[in-house]
A and B are shown apart, each in its own frame.
Chain A
Amino acid sequence: MDLLTNLDIGFQAALSLHNLTFCFIGVLVGTAIGMLPGLGPLATIAMLLPLTYALEPVSGLIMIAGIYYGAQYGGSTTAILVNLPGESSSVVSCLDGHQMARKGRAGAALAIAALGSFFAGTVATLLIAAFSPVLAEVAFLFGPVEYFAMMVLGLTAATLLAHGSFIKGVAMVLTGLILGLVGADVNSGTYRFTFGSFSLTEGIEFVAVAMGLFAFTDIVANIRSNQARDVASPSLRNLMMSAKEFRQAVFPVIRGTAIGSMLGLLPGGGAMISSFASYAVEKRVSRHPEEFGQGAVAGLAGPEAANNAGAQTSFIPMLTLGIPSNGVMALMIGALMVHNIAPGPFVMVSNPEVFWGLIASMWIGNAMLVVLNLPLIPLWVRLIQVQYWVLFPIILVVCCVGLFSINNNVVPIYFAAGFTVLGCLFWRMRAEAAPLLLGFILGPLMEEHFRRSLLLSRGDLSIFWHSPLSVAMLSIAAAMCLVILLPQIRKGRKAAFEEEA
């Protein structure tokens, strides 16, 4: 068995005391920066990169990888406890995870997130080990046309994802689309809605939008509601998840792992899209869709597994083809090149200890994250019992430092303030902020790929039904619309008839 000998080489490299230490440092740093909003893995790794020049190539990579998936992990902790998405991929964890925490199930929520992520990480690592070369080709199946179709599917799912009023969901997605238009248009370079300001040419900063709409709005809303905290205080008994919760989490975790593993292969934000996709799927297949947004276990377990699986499989294009699927992967390629290892299909042959050592370390790192985090749950849970007058100023200060550090610039802080006002308005109107965020991210991508497809076909729309993948995804989107809209139309008619009668 080739796979076994390869894994043997890998574990020998990864289990040396030296490499175990760097793996631990990586996941520890990753968890910490994942919890701090703003300071993302990309900036942290960029800062620590020179440190890896002095290390063995495999130790450096193991540490960087640990920071990357550790951050995905830490991001969910703050999302669940204080409704603060530390990472863009943990926005979805806020929806049901934070509701669970409010109901006194914070410990269970953290445990589900940790174990779900571990399961997803294990499966994704096995996938990488067994099928890397084959899976890498998936990225090349997606051209502008296919990406456009995927975005349409994503946005359709997002609209259905909103609970409460359907019209409000649509309105929020559209608002997100408009906000996403700000900045330079990729095709022509024309500036849109920048009002002559250079700070707007790169668009509105995502982290500022997310912090304003989620964390800061939550703070204002809490202060407004009479200082009385509607968080049930968690007792020790509540820290463990119940058998019922475990059963509710099993299938969402498996489905989430599958979704995340596939989407993670695609360049450009696979992990984040996968958590949204998983949420939409769970809501569709659930027998109790009305529980979503009120603390549904499936709404937390699925997306958590999906984003961790996605984070792992995004290594595949980098390891097998030397192609970075996101900024962190580009930095890893840089780290390899410093050691004169040329990333590409030959790394597997020329430096097997690097390739397989990294893969083995991912599994070890994931196990470390569980060991590190499960015992800490009682400590984290105490965090939500901290008095407002202590907790809120700390969150605000940490967030502002994070916002400043994005570009070494104060502008994102002003934007976060503006979006807090907007967020409070939405909160009063009972409109969900999550669809807005998805519209904000996917809208510009959808437009970009749509126009690029038409550039390629010279304006011929038939390009969209020449690709089987695109046809399949667009059909699913259409079917989803029908499923949701038909009952509403029927209901509307019935209501109209009743009024007439």
Chain B
Amino acid sequence: MKGLHRALALATTLIAFSGASIATAAAQDYPTGPIKLIIPYAPGGGTDAAAAVFSDKLGQILGQPIIKENHPGSNAVIGTTLLAEAAPDGQTLMVVTGAIANNPYLYANLPFDTEELVPVSILTTYPYVLAVRSDLPFNTMQELIDYAKANPGVLTAGTPGRGAGAQLVLGLLNERAGIDIRDIPFKGAGESLNAVAGGFVDVVFSGYETVRPFVESGKMKFFAQSGTVPLGEEQIPPIADTLPGFEYQNWLALIAPPGTPENITDTLNEGLTAIFSEQEVKDRLAGQNIQGIASTAEEAKAYLSREMSTSRSIIGTLGLQPE
């Protein structure tokens, strides 16, 4: 059945893309037809995988299929633009990462106002793990900070490029610890990880699952992460143990177009709450060390604006200007 869904999704995408606005009926009938779920990243990425956890189940609860469409590009700006232009009838939704909170401070001419988008729910949060080349002479966060202070500007960090979460968490660490780990931008997280494994760069911030194979093969070690509680089987301690109050989470949110009425976001949230309380879903997310959250629309809105102000201050200290 799943295969059939994908085939249908492709067929619909190919054939009916231009004239796809089906729903004009009143909101109480929601949903009136298949729901289009915009993924503003290339197919096969982490967001796709996380969206797969809930989209089929949500579709069953709502009685309408949810069809994924990938619109990658420009740090999710291209997908978000499409969402902002869609009708506020809940027939078009988007799953996006924390990038959406950074973009207003990275791009000068965004074709939409981030504040006007309607966050439906925060879906997941997970911290960044700090992985270090295994032959470096430190094994705790405090030792790393001491080393960086004794050898200013010597350590380098691979980041996935301008405005990525991993770059922001590095900026936050440099600022809080009063150190200068130099930022070497790469194209995506994979390249930055390979550069650390090859010994060309010293440290990298990345998701737990992406770092783990390198640690197992002995190329890297990890001893800190950006969450608030110990993480994974290894019980990796949070950076906050060394630098009190340090926290930076990556997150995923479900977002609706500007002006989407409350009864629609309520319907969606009810479904999400039911899904995230299922044991199978909990296990699947726990296996990837991801925390599943179904928040209310107000909570999601408050979360987004809090994240936006954090992003603004970090991007300010990094010295990045909107382009």
Instruction: List the interface of chain A (C-beta within 8 A of B).
Output: 42-43, 45-51, 53-54, 139-144, 184, 186-191, 196, 198-199, 201-202, 267-268, 321-324, 327, 330-331, 334, 337, 340, 342-346, 401, 404-405, 407-409, 448, 452, 455-456
Q: Please, how many angstroms separate the alpha-carbon atoms of A49 and B9 in the complex?
A: 14
Q: Does B306 contact A (CB under 8 A)?
A: no
> Is the pair A408, B71 in contact by a Cβ cutoff of 8 Å?
yes
> Is the pair B217, A321 in contact by a Cβ cutoff of 8 Å?
yes
Within the complex, which residue of B2, B48, B52, B163 is in contact with A54, where a contact is CB–CB below 8 Å?
Answer: B2
Within the complex, which residue of B5, B111, B186 is in contact with A452, where a contact is CB–CB below 8 Å?
Answer: B186
A140 vs chain B, min Cβ distance (A): 4
> Is the pair A50, B209 in contact by a Cβ cutoff of 8 Å?
no
Q: Which residues of A contact B185 (CB under 8 A)?
A: 186-187, 452
Q: Which parts of B181-195 form the interface with A (CB within 8 Å)? A: 182, 184-187, 190-191, 193-195
Q: Does B212 contact A (CB under 8 A)?
A: yes
Q: Please, how many angstroms separate the alpha-carbon atoms of A201 and B81 in the complex?
A: 14
Would A330 and B190 be within 8 Å (CB), given that A322-B213, A456-B201 are in contact? yes
Q: Which residues of B contact A142 (CB under 8 A)?
A: 198
Q: Does B43 contact A (CB under 8 A)?
A: yes
Q: Which residues of B contact A455 (CB under 8 A)?
A: 182, 184
Within the complex, which residue of B42, B162, B194 is in contact with A140, where a contact is CB–CB below 8 Å?
Answer: B194
Q: Which residues of B contact A144 (CB under 8 A)?
A: 195, 200
Other contacts beyond A49-B44, A189-B320, A198-B73: 14, CB < 8 A: A46-B48, A47-B7, A47-B43, A50-B3, A50-B6, A141-B198, A323-B190, A323-B194, A327-B44, A340-B287, A344-B212, A344-B217, A408-B71, A452-B184
Q: Which residues of B contact A331 (CB under 8 A)?
A: 44
Complex: chain A residue closest to B71, CB-CB: A408
Q: Which residues of B contact A189 (CB under 8 A)?
A: 106, 161-163, 320, 323
A483 vs chain B, min Cβ distance (A): 32
Complex: chain A residue closest to B81, CB-CB: A198
> Is the pair A139, B184 in contact by a Cβ cutoff of 8 Å?
no
Instruction: List the interface of chain B (C-beta within 8 A of A).
Output: 2-3, 5-7, 9-10, 13-14, 17, 42-44, 48-49, 52, 69-74, 77-78, 81, 106, 109, 111, 156, 161-163, 182, 184-187, 190-191, 193-195, 197-201, 209, 212-214, 216-217, 219, 287-288, 320, 323
Q: Please, how many angstroms separate the alpha-carbon atoms of A143 and B133 in the complex?
A: 14
B142 vs chain A, min Cβ distance (A): 26
Q: Please, how many angstroms separate the alpha-carbon atoms of A492 and B42 in the complex?
A: 51
Q: Please, how many angstroms separate the alpha-carbon atoms of A199 and B77 in the complex?
A: 10
> Is the pair A323, B200 in contact by a Cβ cutoff of 8 Å?
no
Q: Which residues of B contact A448 (CB under 8 A)?
A: 187
Q: Which residues of A contact B213 (CB under 8 A)?
A: 321-323, 342-345
Would A337 and B44 be within 8 Å (CB), given that A47-B10, A186-B161 are in contact? no
B294 vs chain A, min Cβ distance (A): 22
Complex: chain B residue closest to A39, CB-CB: B10
Q: Which residues of A contact B162 (CB under 8 A)?
A: 184, 188-189
Would A342 and B212 be within 8 Å (CB), given that A139-B194, A202-B73, A323-B193 are in contact? yes
> Is the pair A51, B3 in contact by a Cβ cutoff of 8 Å?
yes
Q: Please, how many angstroms separate the alpha-carbon atoms of A217 and B318 in the complex?
A: 47
Q: Please, how many angstroms separate the alpha-carbon atoms of A191 and B75 in the complex?
A: 13
Complex: chain B residue closest to A47, CB-CB: B6
**18 A-B contact pairs sorted by A residue (CB < 8 Å):** A47-B7, A53-B2, A140-B199, A141-B198, A143-B195, A143-B199, A189-B106, A189-B320, A198-B77, A198-B81, A199-B73, A267-B191, A323-B197, A330-B190, A337-B209, A408-B71, A452-B184, A456-B184
Q: Please, how many angstroms separate the alpha-carbon atoms of A191 and B73 in the complex?
A: 13
A259 vs chain B, min Cβ distance (A): 22
4 closest Cβ contacts across the A-B interface? A189-B162, A322-B213, A344-B213, A46-B43
Would A267 and B190 be within 8 Å (CB), given that A50-B3, A405-B14, A408-B69 are in contact? yes
> Is the pair A199, B71 in contact by a Cβ cutoff of 8 Å?
no
> Is the pair B74, A184 in contact by a Cβ cutoff of 8 Å?
yes
> Is the pair B111, A198 in contact by a Cβ cutoff of 8 Å?
yes
B152 vs chain A, min Cβ distance (A): 12
Q: Which residues of B contact A343 (CB under 8 A)?
A: 213
Q: Please, how many angstroms separate the alpha-carbon atoms of A401 and B17 in the complex?
A: 12
> Is the pair B44, A456 in contact by a Cβ cutoff of 8 Å?
no
> Is the pair A334, B49 in contact by a Cβ cutoff of 8 Å?
yes
Complex: chain B residue closest to A144, CB-CB: B200
> Is the pair B200, A201 in contact by a Cβ cutoff of 8 Å?
no
